[in-house]
Amino acid sequence: MFPVFYSDEFLDHKTGKYHPESPERLTAIINALKQAAFAEKIRWIEPTPVLDNSSVMPLLVKVHSPGYINKVREIATTGGGYLDGDTPISPRSYDVALLAVSAWLNGMDAVLESANPAFVLARPPGHHAESDAGMGFCLFSNAAIAAYYALEQPGINRVAIVDWDVHHGNGTQAIVETNSQIAYCSLHQYPCYPGTGRATERGFHSNVLNLPVPPGSDISVYQPLWEKKVIPFLASFQADLLIVSAGYDGNAEDPLASVNLQPNDYGLFTHYCLGITSKILFGLEGGYDLDTLSQSVLATVSSCLV
């Protein structure tokens, strides 16, 4: 059975009627997975409530400044507002964001226990969230938090993060690039929001690989990058497990970027990752065209079931 971590509470992070990072993103994915030919092979798992997950707050404070955490909580508890022009907070957003962190930690536990992949379908996303600032629809840095959590587990000494979201994960990189036990690799459109992710950014321990691609890039651009850059980078790092910031906004139909991938291409990306290790935690980041978003998640999950 393939574990998928999800809660209806993730729909309670309200972003406004016309915001692209909407609850409908998750609804579309859930409906597609439940109607898929492999639906019976999916095990749906509710994340552990935050009050019952003793790891959430210590890791949150390790990755984010107390002042920033308090700011998110205060905006939510006083009725909501904005972190920046793109990043709304609704009354339940703080609690939902904490539950998202819990879900990513649960997913990591599942991967470590089974040595097989798992998927976290949570929102809000996280890869743009820096230690003391949220931005780009993101509140807490889920992938980075999961990486630090993994390093606390027995036998885990090195963790790699692959970010295939079309936007560079500036928050994830900033948080992990000083840690020699974590590698970060991002394939992203450039120039594009947030303007970071140049190829010259290599981390403090040569543990960062940024692969910017120009607008209009399709699988003919991505495939050689995976085969000649990403896979050798991951293989040489020899990580004990892999975290994938699984954004699906590189699809040709996506409204927030200009890359021309197709949903099945994410199945190929998944295949490449599985060639490195079966210990993979996938976590949802971007993807804003509901149809191609759903079909891309199906391609990822089905590749894990082969």
CB-based contact 26:99 (threshold 8 Å): no
Question: What is the distance between the alpha carbons of residues 271 and 195, in angstroms, rounded to a whole number?
Answer: 29
Question: What is the distance between the alpha carbons of residues 163 and 77, in angstroms, rounded to a whole number?
Answer: 32
Residues 6+ apart with CB under 8 A from 61: 69
Question: What is the distance between the alpha carbons of residues 51 and 34, in angstroms, rounded to a whole number?
Answer: 29
Residues 6+ apart with CB under 8 A from 117: 2, 111, 274, 278, 279, 280, 281, 282, 304
Q: What is the pairing mode between strands 241-246 and 280-284?
A: parallel
- Please identify which of the residues 13, 64, 127, 128 carries the catalytic annotation: 128
> Could you tell me the two tokens for 146?
């999961």
128 has catalytic annotation? yes
Known catalytic residues are 128
